[in-house]
Structures are given as structure tokens and as C-alpha cells.
């Protein structure tokens, strides 16, 4: 459910696209076994990049930070919306210009003709989550280096592109839904859930490596296990049922913050709320709702209606009052009337969601929604987007002001000249707001401290350290 990418310029979505290379004017000499890597797109693509890099490092390849130092460059592309395609094609062009030897992988890889039309000289093109194919192509164009297999080149948890204290944990690939605005299933295929034991082993390795926050991701997190009919798997010699509730339960036992992203609003999401209330996983739900109008949701091939969703949210909050809900919406979907848009605004006022991203609908090549009649004129879309953001801006400010006077545990992300910057359980890295601890320098990234919120604006809050600190965490 990566609708964040409908219109990246208008979202709070991060700069997760990681460009790991710097440009350099002079072409690189082709010798050795040094790989340059550029990762674009969403956190799911970032995890693919981590896997490819882990495999290549295991085989003895070096990963270098500039085009000039690399013997070959891999570009992991995004192809979800037109602006992402453009960015991917530009990046391939830059890599060709600066280095000359380029392998393309990722979502845009499924459109080989489109890439070759613009860049006929790329060495090879492979599709999304095709780890073996991209590694095979590297072998073909850059012979595997000789290295001592007993020398440990890669840490147990593999290569990570996130800071040491948090990590994305991808639990499945692909998606069985066919939302009419989305072409992800045609690029990434149907749902394939990873075995439970494999995911839990990875989570344990990440914890051992210093990670204390897991961000559970996939295209459709709540569908986990549907493709394998929730069969029984094994972990630590014990039978475990392949479903999201069991997975959350087991992840919760590892003693890390566990945060769920891209949760499609299936009815069984209700079963996760008690786990959040018990403190097993964070009371945080990233659940893209897309719209409130029943008719539009039907046209999008999505479930739900305003009344039903409001009723569910009310029940969730009753069970777990500290629950934070993040969601995303599309305005200006084909055929959206003023009345239906008003219905969406009223839903926002009633639901009072904590964090919201909104995107003006933009046609994605190959999406079914393009065939729908009555497209909304661009100026109307933009006006609706502005009206939407205004209403949500007031709600977000009010929700954050409710935090003033309360104490929270804060995980520190960075320390700069103004002080420390961190997040509470209510703020996911990259997409949500921050907690500013001005004047606090004596802390390190990953450390957790207690602080009282003293001020809030529409996105962020400011806090001061509490007198009492948890000794174990203060010394972490």
C-alpha cells in the first residue's frame, strides 16, 4: 500500500530514497570488484537493496560511495508513479554518464523496453525482488572476487541502510488486491508470505545487532499468511501459525518496539488492538483508508465506508486509548463529486486521526482507474487537496497539543547543534513528526530517555528531560 508515492512533493513521506553515490566528473576505470549502489523508492525497496548488498558483500564485493570509485553501478528503481519513473530514468542516466557500467533492478525493471528506449546502453535489467537475477548479472559483468570464505565480511544481520537502532522488517512480497489506482501487483506479483521462523530469526539477529525498533512492512501487512492458508510453521522448535496476530505476539516477546505499517483495513485488524493495549506491540496503526465515500471506495476496489470505519476506530480507541492512527487518502479520484469530497472532510473531523498524508490523484500508466469516466480537473484536485490539508492541519495540531504536559519515552535519533531530536511511540521514523529536546547533548542515537512535552505545532513537539530517568536506558 504505497500510496505515499502518489505525489511525493505533497507528503510528509521521507527521503527514504537513498542515493548512496556522489557524482564525479571523471569516468571510472573498470577494474576490481567495487560496486556502487543507488536505492530509490519506498522502504520495501530499501529492504531489497539491503538484501542485494548483503549477498554481494558476502561474496567479497566491495561497496563504494562514489561513481568514480565503482567498477559497476546498480540502480534499484521505483516505477509506481510517473514522477518516480522520471526520477529512476534520470538516475540511470546520471550513473551512465558518471560511471558508464550500469545494471538496473527494482520495480521499473519490469518495463525493460521503456528503459532501453531512453538508455540503450545499460548492461542488464532485472525486475523487483529478483535478488538472484541481479546478483547473476553482477557475476557476468564483474567477476566474483577471490576472498577467504572464513573471513567474515558481513555482520549476522546483513547490510542495513537504516541507522543502527531501527530496521525495516519485510514480512511478505506482492499483493493479492487489485486497487484500481495501483499497479504494484503487476510489478511485484501476488502475495508471497515469508516463513514465520525466517522472519523471527531475522528479528532476533537485528536485536542482537543493536536494533530496538522494528518497522514491519510489506505491500499488505494484514494479509500475512493468507497465501499459505495460515499453515503452521515452526520457530525455536515450537509450532506457530502463519498469521499476523501470532507474528506480532512473537515479535512482541523480543523486547523491541514493533510498529505496523501498510495495514489494509481487513476486519481481523481488530484482533491486533488488544496486543497493542497489552504493550506487546506499539499502539500505532498505519492504515491507509484512501477515502470515506462508499461509492468511491468501491470504484477503487477498496473495502469500507465512513460509518463503518468510524465505528471501528471508536471501538479501537475504547480498547486501546493510547492508539495512534496514521492514514493516507486520495483526493480528486475520477468521478469524485463535491458532495463526496465533503463527506471525506466530515470523516476527517469525526475520526480525528493523528497523522494523515493526502495525495491528489494522478493517473499511473497501466492503472485501471484511468479508464473511469469524469476525471476531476487538475485545478479542482489541487484546491481539494489544499482544503483537505487545512482541515487535517487543525486536527493534527489539536492532537499534538493534547500531548503537552504528558511524559513520554523518547528514542533519540540524532544530536545536532540545537540539541537532541527523537521520537515517541507515536512517531514513525521518516514519515511522522519529531520530538525536539533543545539543549540536550549528552545522549546518543538509539538511547531512550523520558521527557515531558511542553510545546507543539502542526508536525512536531518540544520536550524537556524528566527528572527521573530509567537507569538502564539512560546508560544504554
Q: How many Cβ atoms sit within 10 Å of the Cβ of residue 54?
A: 18
Residue with cell 469516466: 373
CB of 44 to ligand SF4, least distance (A): 10
In terms of CB distance, is 185 or 445 closer to ligand SF4? 185
Backbone torsions φ then ψ of 180, nearest 5 degrees: -70, -15
- Rounded to the nearest whole angstrom, what is the least distance from the CB of residue 186 to ligand SF4 in the complex? 9
Residues 460 and 423: their CA atoms lie apart, in Å, by: 9
Binding mask 197-236 for ligand SF4 (x = CB under 6 A): ----------------------xx----------------
Minimum Å gap between C-beta 187 and ligand SF4 is 10
Distance of closest approach, residue 172 Cβ to ligand SF4, in angstroms: 11
Q: Which of 244, 241, 200 is nearest to 223 (CA)?
A: 244
CB of 214 to ligand SF4, least distance (A): 21
Rounded least distance, CB 179 to ligand SF4, Å: 3
> Which region among 27-35, 170-178, 265-273, 319-327 touches ligand SF4 (by CB under 6 A)?
170-178
Choose the stretch contacting ligand SF4; rule: CB under 6 A; options: 119-127, 179-187, 207-215, 399-407: 179-187
Does residue number 182 form part of the binding site for ligand SF4 (CB under 6 A)?
Answer: yes
| Per-residue burial over 63-84, b = 16 or more CB atoms within 10 Å of its CB, e = otherwise | bbebbbbbbbbbbbbbbbbeeb
- Kindly give, in sequence order, each residue whose CB lies less than 8 Å from that of residue 205, ignoring residues fewer than 6 positions away: 156, 157, 158
Nearest-approach distance from CB 133 to ligand SF4, in angstroms: 22
38, 52, 81, 179: which one binds ligand SF4 (CB under 6 A):
179
Q: Are 78 and 87 in contact (CB under 8 A)?
A: yes
> Toward ligand SF4, which CB reaches closer, 36 or 127?
127
> Binding to ligand SF4 by residue 184, rule CB under 6 A?
yes
Cβ neighbours of 371 (radius 10 Å): 9
Q: Which of residues 33 and 222 has its CB atom nearest to ligand SF4 in the complex?
A: 222
- Tell me whether strands 419-423 and 284-286 are parallel, antiparallel or unpaired: unpaired
CB of 45 to ligand SF4, least distance (A): 13
Provide the minimum distance between the beta carbon of 109 and ligand SF4 in the complex, in angstroms, as a whole number. Answer: 17
Please state, in angstroms and rounded to a whole number, the distance separating the CA atoms of residues 410 and 5.
Answer: 28
Region from 107-115, 182-190, 351-359, 396-404 binding ligand SF4, contact rule CB under 6 A: 182-190
Q: Pick the piece of the chain touching ligand SF4 (CB under 6 A) from 11-19, 52-60, 144-152, 177-185.
A: 177-185
Round to whole Å and give the CA distance between 47 and 54.
10
- Is residue 248 part of an annotated ligand binding site? no
107 is in an annotated binding site: yes
331's enclosing H/E stretch is strand 324-331
Q: Which of 175, 385, 412, 449 binds ligand SF4 (CB under 6 A)?
A: 175
> Which of 51, 119, 141, 177 lies at the binding interface for ligand SF4 (CB under 6 A)?
177
The set of cell numbers assigned to 192 is: 508471497
Residues 251 and 245: their CA atoms lie apart, in Å, by 10
Q: CB nearer to ligand SF4: give 180 or 392.
A: 180
Please state, as a whole number, how many other Cβ atoms lie within 10 Å of the Cβ of residue 207: 17
User: What is the size of the binding site for ligand SF4 (CB under 6 A)?
Assistant: 12
Which is closer to ligand SF4, CB of 177 or CB of 312?
177
Q: Where are the beta strands (DSSP E) in 82-230?
A: 102-106, 124-125, 166-170, 172-173, 192-193, 213-217
Binding mask 256-295 for ligand SF4 (x = CB under 6 A): --------x-------------------------------
What's the rounded Cα separation, in Å, for the pair 283 and 272?
A: 9
Judged by CB, which is closer to ligand SF4: 126, or 222? 222
CA-CA distance, 75 to 78, in Å (whole number)?
A: 10
> Three-state SS across 145-177?
CCCCCCCCCCCCCCCCCCCCCEEEEECEECCCC
Taking the least distance from each CB to ligand SF4, the nearer of 4 and 98 is 4
In the complex with ligand SF4, the residue whose CB is nearer, 228 or 415, is: 228
With 0-12 CB in 10 A as exposed, 13-18 as middle and 19+ as buried, what is 11?
middle
Q: Is the Cβ–Cβ distance between 104 and 137 less than 8 Å?
A: no
User: Any contact of residue 185 with ligand SF4 (CB under 6 A)?
Assistant: yes
Known binding residue 42? Answer is yes
H or E element in which residue 72 lies: strand 72-77
Binding site for ligand SF4 (CB under 6 A): 1, 3, 175, 177-179, 182, 184-185, 219-220, 264
Q: Residues at the annotated binding site?
A: 42, 78, 107, 175, 179, 182
Query: Which amino acids are annotated as binding site for [4Fe-4S] cluster, given as ranges?
Result: 42, 78, 107, 175, 179, 182
Amino acid at each position: 500500500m504505497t500510496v505515499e508515492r502518489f505525489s511525493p512533493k505533497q507528503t510528509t513521506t521521507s527521503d527514504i530514497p537513498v542515493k548512496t553515490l556522489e557524482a564525479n566528473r571523471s569516468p571510472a576505470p573498470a577494474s576490481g570488484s567495487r560496486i556502487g549502489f543507488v536505492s530509490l523508492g519506498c522502504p520495501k525497496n530499501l529492504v531489497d537493496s539491503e538484501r542485494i548488498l548483503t549477498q554481494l558483500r558476502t561474496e567479497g564485493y566491495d561497496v563504494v560511495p562514489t561513481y568514480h570509485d565503482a567498477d559497476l553501478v546498480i540502480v534499484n528503481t521505483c516505477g509506481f508513479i510517473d514522477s518516480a519513473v522520471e526520477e529512476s530514468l534520470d538516475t540511470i542516466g546520471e550513473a551512465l554518464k558518471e560511471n558508464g557500467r550500469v545494471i538496473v533492478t527494482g520495480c521499473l525493471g519490469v518495463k525493460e523496453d521503456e528503459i532501453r528506449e531512453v538508455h540503450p546502453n545499460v548492461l542488464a535489467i532485472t525486475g523487483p525482488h529478483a535478488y538472484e537475477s541481479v546478483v547473476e548479472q553482477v557475476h557476468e559483468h564483474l567477476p566474483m572476487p577471490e576472498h577467504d570464505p572464513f573471513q567474515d565480511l558481513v555482520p549476522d544481520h546483513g547490510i542495513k541502510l537504516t541507522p543502527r537502532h531501527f530496521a525495516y522488517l519485510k514480512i511478505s512480497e506482492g499483493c493479492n488486491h487489485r486497487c484500481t489506482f495501483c499497479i504494484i501487483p503487476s510489478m511485484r506479483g501476488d502475495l508471497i508470505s515469508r516463513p514465520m521462523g525466517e522472519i523471527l530469526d531475522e528479528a532476533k539477529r537485528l536485536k542482537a545487532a543493536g536494533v530496538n525498533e522494528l518497522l514491519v512492512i510489506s505491500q499488505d501487512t494484514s494479509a500475512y499468511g493468507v497465501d499459505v492458508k495460515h499453515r503452521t510453521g515452526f520457530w525455536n522448535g515450537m509450532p506457530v501459525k502463519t498469521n499476523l496476530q501470532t507474528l506480532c505476539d512473537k515479535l512482541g516477546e523480543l523486547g523491541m518496539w514493533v510498529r505496523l505499517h501498510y495495514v489494509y483495513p481487513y476486519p481481523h485488524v481488530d484482533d491486533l488492538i488488544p496486543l497493542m493495549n497489552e504493550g506487546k506491540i506499539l499502539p500505532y496503526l498505519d492504515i491507509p483508508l484512501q477515502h470515506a465515500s462508499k461509492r468511491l471506495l468501491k470504484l477503487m476496489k477498496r473495502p469500507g465506508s465512513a460509518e463503518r470505519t468510524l465505528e471501528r476506530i471508536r471501538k479501537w480507541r475504547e480498547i486501546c486509548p493510547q492508539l495512534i492512527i496514521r492514514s493516507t487518502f486520495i483526493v480528486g479520484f475520477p468521478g469524485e463529486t463535491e458532495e463526496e469530497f465533503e463527506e471525506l472532510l466530515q470523516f476527517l473531523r469525526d475520526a480525528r486521526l493523528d497523522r494523515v498524508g493526502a495525495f491528489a490523484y494522478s493517473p499511473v500508466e497501466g492503472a485501471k482507474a484511468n479508464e473511469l469516466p469524469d476525471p476531476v480537473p487538475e485545478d479542482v484536485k489541487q484546491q481539494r487537496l489544499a482544503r483537505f490539508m487545512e482541515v487535517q492541519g487543525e486536527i493534527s495540531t489539536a492532537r499534538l497539543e493534547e500531548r503537552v504536559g504528558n511524559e513520554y519515552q523518547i528514542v533519540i535519533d540524532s544530536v545536532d547543534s540545537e540539541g537532541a531530536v527523537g521520537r515517541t511511540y507515536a512517531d514513525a521514523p521518516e514519515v511522522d513528526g519529531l520530538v525536539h529536546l533543545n539543549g540536550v547533548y549528552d545522549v546518543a542515537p538509539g538511547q531512550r530517555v523520558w521527557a515531558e512535552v511542553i510545546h507543539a505545532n502542526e508536525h512536531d513537539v518540544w520536550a524537556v528531560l524528566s527528572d527521573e530517568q530509567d537507569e538502564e536506558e539512560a546508560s544504554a
